[in-house]
């Protein structure tokens, strides 16, 4: 096969190997099966969703974490790296060149033979030589390599931006989740202390009744066991709350502060509303989806650059030089201005470049698949979280009513036992029923708040999409 035919065959194979980027399949249901009563989309500022809880302590902890936490600072450093890499890649297409200079002094002493010394040549004496050059190389971008590289690096920097925002969103969610866990522990600790107080009252009452002979003395022993358990539970919850406070301080970048500096109320407050949304809005907001989309654009840009590598490269190589040389009785100074050009056409390297292009096309397909998966995950997270949150809210409402009734029943039984109208078992059963319902209510309330945090995160609390143009808009 002739070289020209061989080249033509390889070029055709390269073009055949360059498949266009497959459009990502992001089809989703027309709308979410969101629970009724959700706020309209946009009614809540998802960029700072934690303000919806109206909790100054939570807002302060999240702001501190976003400023000082190592995860946020590391993501910011990656963003700065991506910006620097973008500048480095694009500056490569500007004229490149360095100034060089040299000087040399030679002192020659002839030891034997005839000494020659006439203008232009000397076998003995001091000679000097100085030179400076400014050599420039500039690749003339005829085929659009700059546009392909810019598309790739713009995708990289956009992905780094959304990775940074995703890290911030995750950090804010982690702080809020730990905060509501701490408040739940504070409520449980208060309940445990209240249980210990009630058990102490029952113990005092049963001891007094036993001493008066109107009740069995074993009643006091039985209550004493429950009292010990209540005190032990309170001590354990106190330790758990202290550990949770330390976790919060670490997340907020306040590692060395004492846990006493962090106030945690023994209440959960009121659940904020959840904004209703649709898939198109979800895709515009979620940092992970936007990051995956940017990585598709970056991979496509690299595939374009690999394809253009099969085409010729034209370089201008002008240079400017100055030199001076002197010997005994002779000196010359020169200046030069050179204009040059070089063209490079890949030939034997075509098989290697073809393999690189196929590999990049495969990486681009992986990026498209990752984007599709990110979209599906986003929809699944949002849909599932909203449905579960609706169930949590209903559970809280039911348990709130049940706790009120159980508390009323216990108070009636306690009064009856103190007056000798009911036995200890009846009072203990009523108290246990009330405390169990109370414990379930606290757990349900904390779960609802934690689920609300998950919902805000799933709906894409982050930089608004309009602040980060897609790679078709980036310039």
Bridge partners, residue 208, by sequence: none
Residues of the chain with pLDDT under 50: 1, 3-10, 17, 19, 32-34, 36-37, 40-42, 463, 465-475
Dist CA 458 CA 288 (whole Å): 10
Q: What is the predicted pLDDT for the residue at 43?
A: 52
CATH number of the domain that 73 lies in?
1.20.1600.10
Q: What is the predicted pLDDT for the residue at 4?
A: 46
Q: ∠213-217-223 over CA atoms, to 5°?
A: 130
CATH number of the domain that 325 lies in?
2.20.200
- pTM to 2 decimals? 0.76
Same domain, 109 and 196: no
Backbone Cα Rg of the chain: 38
Say how many C-beta atoms besides its own lie within 10 A of residue 4's C-beta: 8
Same domain, 300 and 395: yes
What letter would DSSP give residue 331?
E
Same domain, 152 and 291: yes
Same domain, 252 and 388: yes
Same domain, 332 and 253: no
Number of domains forming the structure of the chain:
2
Residue 341 lies in a domain: yes
Dist CA 443 CA 435 (whole Å): 12
Last residue of a domain, one of 321, 345, 369: 345
Same domain, 47 and 158: yes
Token pair listed for 102: 């040299």
CA distances to 57, 70, 267 from 179, in Å: 9, 19, 12
* Of the candidates 199, 285, 196, 204, the residue with the CA atom closest to the CA atom of residue 237: 196
28 phi and psi angles, rounded to 5 deg:
-135, 165
Same domain, 339 and 394: no
Report yes or no: 373 and 449 within 8 Å, Cβ to Cβ: no
Residue 4 lies in a domain: no
Dist CA 188 CA 234 (whole Å): 8
Same domain, 188 and 270: yes
Q: What is the predicted pLDDT for the residue at 123?
A: 63
Same domain, 253 and 119: no
CA distances to 92, 120, 142, 318, 342 from 138, in Å: 9, 39, 12, 9, 10
Long-range CB pairs of 253-259 (<8 Å, 24+ gap) are 253/64, 253/65, 253/67, 253/68, 253/69, 254/64, 254/68
Residue 294 lies in a domain: yes
CA distances to 90, 103, 322, 466 from 330, in Å: 48, 17, 18, 72
Same domain, 322 and 415: no
Residue 1 lies in a domain: no
Residue 453 lies in a domain: yes
Same domain, 374 and 333: no
Same domain, 409 and 375: yes
Residue 64 lies in a domain: yes
Residues 6 or more apart from 282 whose CB is under 8 A from it?
289, 378, 379, 382, 459, 460
Structural domain of 388: 13-93+145-307+351-467
Token pair listed for 311: 């085409």
Report yes or no: 329 and 117 within 8 Å, Cβ to Cβ: yes
Residue with tokens 């002094």: 105
The residue length of the chain stands at: 475
What letter would DSSP give residue 36?
T
């Amino acid at each position: 096969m002739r070289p020209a035919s061989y080249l033509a065959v390889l070029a055709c194979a390269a073009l055949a190997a360059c498949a266009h980027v497959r459009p990502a399949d992001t089809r989703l249901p027309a709308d979410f099966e969101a629970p009724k009563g959700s706020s309209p989309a946009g009614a809540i500022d998802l960029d700072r969703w934690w303000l919806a809880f109206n909790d100054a302590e939570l807002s302060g902890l999240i702001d501190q974490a976003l400023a000082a936490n190592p995860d946020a600072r590391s993501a910011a450093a990656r963003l700065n790296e991506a910006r620097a890499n973008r500048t480095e890649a694009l500056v490569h297409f500007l004229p490149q060149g360095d100034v060089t200079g040299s000087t040399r002094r030679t002192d020659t002493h002839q030891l034997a033979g005839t000494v020659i010394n006439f203008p232009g040549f000397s076998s003995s004496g001091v000679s000097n030589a100085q030179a400076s050059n400014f050599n420039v190389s500039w690749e003339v971008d005829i085929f659009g390599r700059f546009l392909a590289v810019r598309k790739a690096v713009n995708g990289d920097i956009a992905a780094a931006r959304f990775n940074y925002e995703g890290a911030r969103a995750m950090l804010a969610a982690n702080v809020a989740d730990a905060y509501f866990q701490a408040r739940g522990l504070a409520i449980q600790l208060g309940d445990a202390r209240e249980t210990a107080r009630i058990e102490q009252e029952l113990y005092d009452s049963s001891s007094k009744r036993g001493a008066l002979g109107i009740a069995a003395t074993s009643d006091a022993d039985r209550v004493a066991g429950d009292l010990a358990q209540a005190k032990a539970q309170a001590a354990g919850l106190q330790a758990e709350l202290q550990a949770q406070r330390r976790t919060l301080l670490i997340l907020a970048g306040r590692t060395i502060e004492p846990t006493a500096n962090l106030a945690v109320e023994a209440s959960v407050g009121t659940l904020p509303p959840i904004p209703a949304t649709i898939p198109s809005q979800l895709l515009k907001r979620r940092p992970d989806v936007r990051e995956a989309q940017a990585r598709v654009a970056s991979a496509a840009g690299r595939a374009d650059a690999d394809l253009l590598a099969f085409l010729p490269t034209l370089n201008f190589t002008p240079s400017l030089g100055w030199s001076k040389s002197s010997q005994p009785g002779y000196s010359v100074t020169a200046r030069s201005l050179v204009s040059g050009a070089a063209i490079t056409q890949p030939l034997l390297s075509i098989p290697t470049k073809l393999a690189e292009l196929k590999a990049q096309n495969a990486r681009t397909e992986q990026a498209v698949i990752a984007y599709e998966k990110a979209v599906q995950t986003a929809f699944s997270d949002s849909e599932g979280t909203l449905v579960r949150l609706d169930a949590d809210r209903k559970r809280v409402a039911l348990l709130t009513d049940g706790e009120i009734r159980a508390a009323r029943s216990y108070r009636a039984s306690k009064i009856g036992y103190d007056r000798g109208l009911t036995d200890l078992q009846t009072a203990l059963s009523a108290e246990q029923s009330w405390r169990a319902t109370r414990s379930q209510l606290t757990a349900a309330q904390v779960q609802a708040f934690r689920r609300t945090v998950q919902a805000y995160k799933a709906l894409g609390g982050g930089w608004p999409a309009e602040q980060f143009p897609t790679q078709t808009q980036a310039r």
